[in-house]
Chains A and B, each alone.
Chain A
Amino acid sequence: MDTLQFLMNGFGIAMQWQNLLFAFFGVLIGTAVGVLPGIGPMSGVALLIPITATLTSGLDPQSAAASSIILLAGVYYGAMYGGSTTSILLNTPGESSSVVTALDGYQMARQGRAGAALSISAIGSFVAGIVSLLGLTLLAKPLSELALSFGPAEYFSLMLLGLCAVSGLAGSSITKALIMTVAGLLLATIGMDNVSGVSRFTYNNAYLYSGLEFLTIAVGLFALGEVFRTILDRDKENGNITKVGRILPTKQDMKESTAPIVRGSLLGFFIGVLPGAGATLASFFSYIAEKKISKHPEKFGHGAIAGVAAPESANNGASGGAMIPLLTMGIPGSGTTAILMGALIMYNVQPGPLLFEDNPEVAWGLIASMFIGNVMLLVLNMPLVKVFAKVIETPAKYLLPIIIAISIFGVYAVQFNTFDLTLLLICGLFGYFLTKNDYPVAPLVLALVLGPMIENNMRRALTSSNGDFSVFVTSPVSLLFLVIGALWISVPLIMKMRGRSVIINEED
């Protein structure tokens, strides 16, 4: 009953008024981020880190970390709710994870069933959120205990596996994804080496001693890169928004979508737990699965409610599932969780197995707040969906310069120097050109966050083995991780060589 006790303590933290407020604003902003086509969950979370950092500056470090991660995680799963709104009403997905929702959701909207589609996706997201949280609660303790038994060699291999998984699924070209990963790892070596204290690649630049700030890079690559893309591609048309109409689904709708919601939730959760496979992949798979299972596969694409219910449940289930490797092992499996991890590290909270022992209030407070946040989202999304539909109409011409201004404000507020602002603008340019040419930036950010830890563990393992590299393959667990990592990269390559099309996980 330990877990239950911890969860109750977690609720005690999540129920504090300021944390309720943080969770509320997190999910509210998250929904808006999901609705707005310009910003995705990754840039949304990255933009909010400096703001939460200042909001929580008066609290003691522990509660500050708990409060801000509650807000940031709220943005993450809130975006999964909001993403469906534009898919259904506009046929333009707000997030990549809602692309498949548009297939049937928009058709439903054209048949005047937009309200039903929106509410089913909110209900599905809610069920999936709760399912994945139950999974998280149950798996947290055993998994973190397992992870505690790992030595540096196992950790090194596990993190390598995480990087391989993200690179293997991150874009149309694995070579490019791997280049980005290695570039991220190289950037992570800039600054003071925390094993020997020797400075590397700093060239007497005072700002470089502490390393490149992950926040600056993340905001630049994601948020600014996306804004620059929108300006350059003249991508600011506003389509016609379908009327929402009756919100509550009919009994028939509910009956038809119950099973898809349950299947979508479970599938999404398990896909989310896998590193590299995020919400986009989960929604895609569950849509295909529903189409296969369905007695009327011909209805799909013409407004089948199951085609909305399943992927929307799956993407939310996946975002809950993705928290598991992050919290229990300290391995983020996607770009957004990498940013959440970076945020935790900024607060001196190290995600991983020790998190549940050293900072139970952060870990369990977050889990409990996600229960509350999901309830808030259901309440917000059912009656207020018409209000959120209005958010879509925010004119891009005001939004884009304001996003730039918020990025600059956020980075300056945390770093207090113009060196980081220059770096921010440069990263924005890189973000635009790299993404445009199919170089995925998520692996780079992930590598930047994991880099120092990978290096530390590698050198600790090598030091204890006197420089013998075989230490990574003699430990069975470490060998297993390495083999899985190698497979993750090579299997899609082999499939591609055989001419099979490979599904990739594009997270913006």
Chain B
Amino acid sequence: MSKTFDRYASIVFILIGVLFMVESRKIAASSYGSNVGPDIFPIGLGLLLILLSIKLFIETTKMKKEEAKGEKPDYKRFLTIFAAAVLYVVLLEPLGYVITTFLFLVVGFQVLEKGRWLKTILIAAGFSFGVYYLFVHVLQGSLPGFPI
């Protein structure tokens, strides 16, 4: 419920609408024997999105100013976990599933609550090995294994 967020969001949505409309014009003309080409739908939607975003922008100007309330979101923990998740995704293929999952879970558990290392390691190892074993050996699925 933040006025500032809504204002920026409406501008971003207008830009998205414009982008879709401009880019739709570049779509190759259809070879299909119809005057209803593949560009009509996105152009129409882009226009609609722009109109709706303008409406939202006008609505935000009417909104009352709100005071910030409540405690500040926990950005520190979130960013640590998010960064860990990004690393997890990046390293998943080169390092393999078991190692990355184990590391991610250990970091995740410890960031949310420090201590209890034994339990952390047991659960993280159980999950990463368990999922890998079940998926690859029992269900014959495919996951990146271990780095050789």
State the A residues within 8 Å of B (CB): 54-55, 57-58, 173, 175-176, 178-179, 182-183, 185-186, 189, 193, 195-196, 198, 200-201, 228, 231-234, 236, 395-398, 400-402, 404-405, 408-409, 412-413, 416, 418, 421-422, 424-425, 429, 433, 437-439, 455, 458-459, 462-463, 466-467
CB < 8 Å: which of B30, B40, B53, B108 contacts A401?
Answer: B108
Bound-state Cα–Cα, A218 to B45, Å? 21
**Chain A residue nearest to B1 in the complex (CB):** A438
30 contacts between A and B (CB under 8 A): A173-B56, A175-B59, A178-B52, A182-B48, A182-B52, A183-B49, A186-B16, A189-B42, A193-B38, A195-B30, A201-B20, A231-B77, A232-B74, A234-B71, A401-B109, A404-B81, A404-B108, A405-B105, A405-B128, A408-B89, A409-B97, A409-B101, A413-B141, A418-B93, A433-B5, A437-B5, A437-B6, A439-B9, A459-B36, A463-B34
Assess whether A418 is in contact with B1, with CB atoms less than 8 Å apart: no
B88: A residues at CB distance < 8 A: 408
Assess whether B41 is in contact with A459, with CB atoms less than 8 Å apart: yes
CB < 8 Å: which of A179, A189, A459 contacts B53?
Answer: A179
User: Interface digits, B1-22 against A, CB 8 Å rule (1 contact, 0 not)?
Assistant: 1100110010001001000100
Is B117 interfacial (CB 8 A cutoff)? Answer: no
CB-contacts of B33-88 with A (<8 A) = 34-42, 45-46, 48-49, 52-53, 55-56, 59, 71, 73-75, 77-78, 81-82, 85-86, 88
Assess whether B36 is in contact with A198, with CB atoms less than 8 Å apart: no
B1: A residues at CB distance < 8 A: 437-438
- Assess A182 versus B45: contact at CB under 8 Å? Given A234-B71, A408-B85: yes
Bound-state Cα–Cα, A312 to B24, Å? 48
Assess whether B49 is in contact with A186, with CB atoms less than 8 Å apart: yes
Is B129 interfacial (CB 8 A cutoff)? Answer: no
Bound-state Cα–Cα, A143 to B88, Å? 48
Assess whether B45 is in contact with A189, with CB atoms less than 8 Å apart: yes
Pairs A-B, 6 closest by C-beta atoms: A401-B108, A397-B112, A193-B38, A232-B73, A196-B30, A421-B89
Assess whether A231 is in contact with B31, with CB atoms less than 8 Å apart: no
- Assess A418 versus B92: contact at CB under 8 Å? Given A54-B139, A198-B27: yes
Bound-state Cα–Cα, A178 to B50, Å? 11
- Assess A232 versus B75: contact at CB under 8 Å? Given A175-B56, A176-B56, A433-B5: yes
Bound-state Cα–Cα, A58 to B140, Å? 9
Assess whether A183 is in contact with B56, with CB atoms less than 8 Å apart: no
B138–chain A nearest beta-carbon distance, Å: 10
Assess whether B37 is in contact with A412, with CB atoms less than 8 Å apart: no
Bound-state Cα–Cα, A193 to B77, Å? 42
Interface majority SS on A: helix, strand, loop or mixed? helix
- Assess A182 versus B6: contact at CB under 8 Å? Given A418-B93, A459-B41: no
**Chain A residue nearest to B57 in the complex (CB):** A175
Assess whether B78 is in contact with A422, with CB atoms less than 8 Å apart: no
B117–chain A nearest beta-carbon distance, Å: 13
13 new A-B contacts, CB < 8 A, other than A198-B38, A398-B109, A408-B89, are A183-B13, A186-B16, A195-B38, A196-B30, A233-B74, A236-B112, A395-B113, A396-B112, A409-B131, A425-B89, A455-B41, A458-B41, A467-B36
B140–chain A nearest beta-carbon distance, Å: 8
- Assess A401 versus B105: contact at CB under 8 Å? Given A183-B16, A437-B1, A437-B2: yes
Assess whether A425 is in contact with B127, with CB atoms less than 8 Å apart: no
A167–chain B nearest beta-carbon distance, Å: 10
A395: B residues at CB distance < 8 A: 113
- Assess A232 versus B78: contact at CB under 8 Å? Given A185-B45, A397-B109, A404-B108: yes
B113: A residues at CB distance < 8 A: 395, 397
CB-contacts of B123-137 with A (<8 A) = 123, 127-128, 131, 135
- Assess A418 versus B89: contact at CB under 8 Å? Given A404-B81, A455-B41: yes
Bound-state Cα–Cα, A189 to B46, Å? 11
State the B residues within 8 Å of A (CB): 1-2, 5-6, 9, 13, 16, 20, 23-24, 27-28, 30-32, 34-42, 45-46, 48-49, 52-53, 55-56, 59, 71, 73-75, 77-78, 81-82, 85-86, 88-90, 92-93, 97, 101, 104-105, 107-109, 112-113, 123, 127-128, 131, 135, 139-143
**Chain A residue nearest to B50 in the complex (CB):** A182
CB < 8 Å: which of A55, A186, A234, A459 contacts B34?
Answer: A459
Assess whether A400 is in contact with B49, with CB atoms less than 8 Å apart: no
Assess whether A404 is in contact with B85, with CB atoms less than 8 Å apart: yes
Most chain A C-beta atoms within 10 Å of own C-beta, residue among B30, B81, B112: B112
**Chain A residue nearest to B86 in the complex (CB):** A425
Assess whether B35 is in contact with A467, with CB atoms less than 8 Å apart: yes
CB < 8 Å: which of B2, B55, B92, B93 contacts A175?
Answer: B55
- Assess A173 versus B59: contact at CB under 8 Å? Given A196-B37, A234-B71: yes
Most chain A C-beta atoms within 10 Å of own C-beta, residue among B38, B74, B86, B88: B38
- Assess A196 versus B45: contact at CB under 8 Å? Given A232-B78, A401-B81, A425-B85: no
Bound-state Cα–Cα, A353 to B27, Å? 34
CB < 8 Å: which of A54, A401, A458 contacts B135?
Answer: A54
Assess whether A195 is in contact with B5, with CB atoms less than 8 Å apart: no
A49–chain B nearest beta-carbon distance, Å: 14
A186: B residues at CB distance < 8 A: 16, 20, 42, 45-46, 49
Assess whether A405 is in contact with B78, with CB atoms less than 8 Å apart: no
B97: A residues at CB distance < 8 A: 409
Assess whether B92 is in contact with A421, with CB atoms less than 8 Å apart: yes
B145–chain A nearest beta-carbon distance, Å: 13
B71: A residues at CB distance < 8 A: 234
B125–chain A nearest beta-carbon distance, Å: 13
**Chain B residue nearest to A452 in the complex (CB):** B41
Assess whether B42 is in contact with A175, with CB atoms less than 8 Å apart: no
Bound-state Cα–Cα, A431 to B112, Å? 21
